Structure 1
Amino acid sequence: MKKTLIATALLAASTTPAFAAVENYTVDTQGMHASINFKINHLGYSWIVGRFNDFNGSFAFDEDNAANNRVEMTVNTASIDTNHGERDRHLRSDDFLDVSKFPEASFRSTSVIQDDDEGEYVVKGELTLHGVTRPVEFEIEQVGAGEDPWGGFRRGFEGELELKLTDYGIDYDLGPASATVYLDIHLEGVRQ
C-alpha cells in the first residue's frame, strides 16, 4: 500500500503543470533602454519637458501571480536635465529639489495588482522625494517581452505618475497651472 501511495504521488508530481516562476530583472540604464521623463505646464501656455539622466532599478515579474511583482527605483536628483543650464541649476537648488541635501529620490512598490486587461497593472508604493515619503498609485502597461539579439531576455513597461509638488514640500510658486508634475516612466529590464 505504501509503495502504491509513493508511486501515485510521483506520478501526480510529474504530471502537474509547471507554473511560471518569478523572474528578476535589472533595468537597462547602461544601454539607454529606460527613461524617466517629466513635464510641467509653463504658465498655462506650453510645457517644459525634461528627464533624469542617472537612475537605476530592478523589478520582479510573475506572469501567473501579480502579487509577486515588485519594482524598486533610485534616481540621482542632480541628473535633472531640461536642456537649459540655468533652469537646471535652479531646479537643483533649495527652491526645488535641493540636491545637496536630498541627492536621491526613490520608489519602492508595496503591491502590484493586475488590471482586467491583459498586460495592465496598478502599482502602489512609496515615493520618497525631497525628503518626504508618500504613498502613490499609478497604472503601468507591459509593452512587450522576448529574447534580445545578444542571448538575453527582456521585458518592458510604461506608465505615468502625477505628483503635486507641494505634497513633497516643494512650495516655490510657479502659478496654479504648474502645480502638478507628470512623470513618464519607461522601463526595459534584462532578466537575470
Structure 2
Amino acid sequence: MKKILLAGLLALGFAVPGVQAAEYKIDTQGQHAFIQFKIQHLGYSWLYGRFNDLSGHFTYDKDNPDASEVVVNIDPASIDTNHAERDKHLRSDEFLHVAEHPEAKFVSTSFEDHGDGTATLKGDLTLHGITKPVTIDAEHVGHGPDPWGGYRRGFRGTTKIALKDFGIDYDLGPKAREVALTLSIEGVRQ
C-alpha cells in the first residue's frame, strides 16, 4: 500500500522528502519533441514522415535512473509525410484507421541505465488498437537550465516495429514490413 501511495504522489507531482525523481512535461508547445519514422517503399527508396501531435511526461532521478517512467500520447491522425494524398491513405482503414483508433500510446515498463549515457527503455505501445511490448535504445542527450528560467532534460531513442504485429498488413513489398522510429524527447521540469 505504501508503494502505491508513493507512486500516486509522484504521479501527481508532490514533493516527497528523500525522493529525488523529477517530473518533466514533454515540450511539444515549443516543438522540441518529435517522433519520426522511415519505411522502405517497395524496396526502391525510403519514405520518411512524422507524427506532428504528441504529448506526455517522464520522470527521471539522476541517483536512480532505473526508476524512470515515460508516457507518450500520439495522435495518429497527425501523420505527415509531406504528401497530402498519401497521408490521407495512411489515415484510412488500410493503415492506421484513425477513425476507429484515434490514439496511440507508449507506457514504459522498465528503464535500464547502462552508466554510459545510454539506456534500454521497455514499454507497451498501443497502435491501431493493438498493444505490444517494444524496446527502445535510448541516449541521454543532456540537461540543464534554459533561457526562460526552466530546467530541461532530453533523450533520443530508436526502435523498429513490425507493421503486422499491429494489425497493419498492407503490401508495400518485402522490405517494407518494419518501420524504424526515431524519438527525440525534450522535457521541461515541472
TM-score for the superposition, normalised by structure 1? 0.88
Q: Secondary structure at the match of 1:178?
A: coil
- Given residue 184 of structure 2, which amino acid in structure 1 is its aligned partner? H
Counterparts of 2:170 and 2:68, CA distance in 1 = 36
Residue-by-residue CA offset, 1:48-88 (whole Å, 9 max, x unaligned): 00000111010000111123201000000100000001100
State the alpha-carbon separation in 2 of the partners of residues 76 and 54 from structure 1.
6
Q: 2:177 aligns with which of 176, 179, 182?
A: 179
Equivalent-residue separation in structure 2 for 1:34 and 1:46 (angstroms): 26
SS at match of 1:167: helix
State the partner residue of 1:27.
Answer: 26
Given candidates 128, 131, 134, the residue that maps to 2:129 is 131
Aligned counterpart, 2:189: 191
Give me the whole-angstrom Cα distance separating, in 1, the residues matched to 2:45 and 2:119: 30
Which residue of the partner structure matches residue 153 of structure 2?
A: 155
Q: CA RMSD in A?
A: 1.3
1:102-139 Cα deviation digits (max 9, x unpaired): 0010000011011142x211111100000100111121
Mapped to 1, the partners of 2:75 and 2:94 lie a distance apart of 17
| Structure 2 Cα separation of the partners of residues 163 and 116 of structure 1 | 26
User: What aligned pairs does 1:94-173 form with structure 2 within 5 A after superposition?
Assistant: 94-117=93-116, 119-173=117-171
Secondary structure at the counterpart of residue 141 of structure 1:
strand
CA contact (8 A) 1:153 1:190 kept: yes
Measured in 2, the distance between the counterparts of 1:61 and 1:20 equals 11
Query: Secondary structure in 1 aligned to 2:175?
Result: helix
Contact in 2 for aligned 1:20/1:64 (Cα 8 Å):
no
Aligned residues: 174
Letter in 2 for 1:182: A
Structure 2 Cα separation of the partners of residues 30 and 116 of structure 1 = 31
Q: TM-score, normalised by structure 2?
A: 0.89
Pairing of 1:37-76 with structure 2 (within 5 A) = 37-76=36-75
CA contact (8 A) 1:19 1:64 kept: no
**Contact 1:165 1:180 (8 Å CA) reproduced:** yes
State the partner residue of 1:4. none
Partner of 1:85: 84
> Any idea what the Cα deviations from partners look like across 1:118-169, whole Å, max 9, x if unmatched?
x211111100000100111121001110000011000000011101000000
SS in 1 for 2:105: strand
Distance in 1, Cα, partners of 2:133 & 2:107: 10
> What residue is the counterpart of 2:7 in the other structure?
none
